[in-house]
Amino acid sequence: MKKNKQVKFKGDKEGYCNICGRYSQLTCDHIPPQGCVKPTIVELRTLTQYLSKPSERPTDSQSGLNILSICGNCNNTFLGTEYDPELIEVSKQIASIVRVQQLGLSLPEKIDLSVKPQRLIRSVIGHILAGKLPISGKPPISAPFSDALRNYFLDQSSNLSNNLEVYYWVYPSNKQIVINSLGIGSAMGEGFISGSCLLKFFPLAFWIVWDKPASFPISLTKISKDKFKGLDETCKMVLDLRNIPPLSYPEVPGEGRFIMCCDDSTFLAQPKKPKGFG
């Protein structure tokens, strides 16, 4: 089998944190957090490898997708203590519902659960920001979209920027995807999404979109942010169990669409099949 270019997911032990920008020892972030998906041997591909060279040999990682990319404070204090427990809890609840559905038992078309959006969204954002190697010797590049994500993550008294929408849906696949920056355009006059980022793992997908043009259709539910909520305030998350987008949505563009991304900052991980099983 021909070999793909190695996916680079190991970098400097010290550097600038992808989230707070401080120079320090870098710590490994598991994407998604270990409480959501048990880290096993996975095959890593970039989005381009996945789309154009799926039969070529991928890069193996022994313990899921984990990247040395953020400082201990962002990793342990913010993510580990403050934000991840909510994402883990919500994922577990939804995973058990999706598994029941996969057994063929009938469930209502939609279910809703109560979540703490300020913790949940920050957890998702933190792992997306951690989902690329820091640039060696340089702090994170400042840009309106990534600055809005980082500032929101770090300032617990802030609300999600008005320019950002958080879409989510049920994702019944064991392939994990993190894409730090994804632009999507339309050749049909629907406009262009210049900034978005994506995190998908069983059982949920999250797509955070910056400045969506009104003309660009996204028919998914999004997390409400009509009024500011404190860290422990809750809102309803409605999950549609029947109308699920294709598993490769939105990173594989449909007809009349095109995507733009930096391939080195896209990671697709899937459990490695045991030898002898194809």
Q: Work out whether 20 is an interface residue with Zn ion (CB under 5 A).
A: yes
**Nearer Cβ to Zn ion (70/239):** 70
DSSP 241: S
**Nearer Cβ to Zn ion (15/58):** 15
Least gap, CB of 16 to Zn ion (angstroms): 9
Could you tell me if 18 and 134 are in contact, meaning their C-beta atoms sit under 8 angstroms apart? Answer: yes
- Preceding amide of 172 cis, omega within 30: no
**Nearer Cβ to Zn ion (71/90):** 71
Task: Candidates 20-28, 169-177, 254-262, 270-278: pick the segment binding Zn ion (CB under 5 A).
Answer: 20-28
Task: Candidates 19-27, 126-134, 152-160, 207-215: pick the segment binding Zn ion (CB under 5 A).
Answer: 19-27
Q: Work out whether 17 is an interface residue with Zn ion (CB under 5 A).
A: yes
The phi and psi torsions of 155 (rounded to 5 degrees) equal: -100, 100
Task: Give residues 180-199 in contact with Zn ion (rule: CB under 5 A).
Answer: none
Least gap, CB of 12 to Zn ion (angstroms): 14
Say if strands 235-240 and 110-115 run parallel, antiparallel, or are unpaired.
antiparallel
Q: Work out whether 19 is an interface residue with Zn ion (CB under 5 A).
A: yes
Q: How far apart are CA 87 and CA 185, in angstroms?
A: 30
**Nearer Cβ to Zn ion (20/223):** 20
**Nearer Cβ to Zn ion (71/170):** 71
Q: How far apart are CA 85 and CA 81, in angstroms?
A: 7
Half-sphere exposure of 104 (CA within 13 A, CB side): 0
Torsion of CA 169, 172, 177, 181, to 10 degrees: -20
> Site map for Zn ion, 68-87, x if CB under 5 A?
---x--x-------------
Least gap, CB of 78 to Zn ion (angstroms): 8
Least gap, CB of 70 to Zn ion (angstroms): 5
**Nearer Cβ to Zn ion (153/169):** 153
Say how many residues touch Zn ion, by CB under 5 A: 5
**Nearer Cβ to Zn ion (17/121):** 17
Task: Collapse the DSSP code of 100 into the 3-class scheme (helix H, G, I; strand E, B; otherwise coil) and give the result.
Answer: helix
Q: How far apart are CA 210 and CA 67, in angstroms?
A: 25
Q: Work out whether 26 is an interface residue with Zn ion (CB under 5 A).
A: no
Tokens representing residue 9 in the block = 């997911």
Q: Work out whether 129 is an interface residue with Zn ion (CB under 5 A).
A: no
Q: How far apart are CA 24 and CA 139, in angstroms?
A: 11
Q: Work out whether 67 is an interface residue with Zn ion (CB under 5 A).
A: no
Burial of 81 (0-12, 13-18, 19+ CB in 10 A): exposed
Sites of contact with Zn ion (CB under 5 A): 17, 19-20, 71, 74
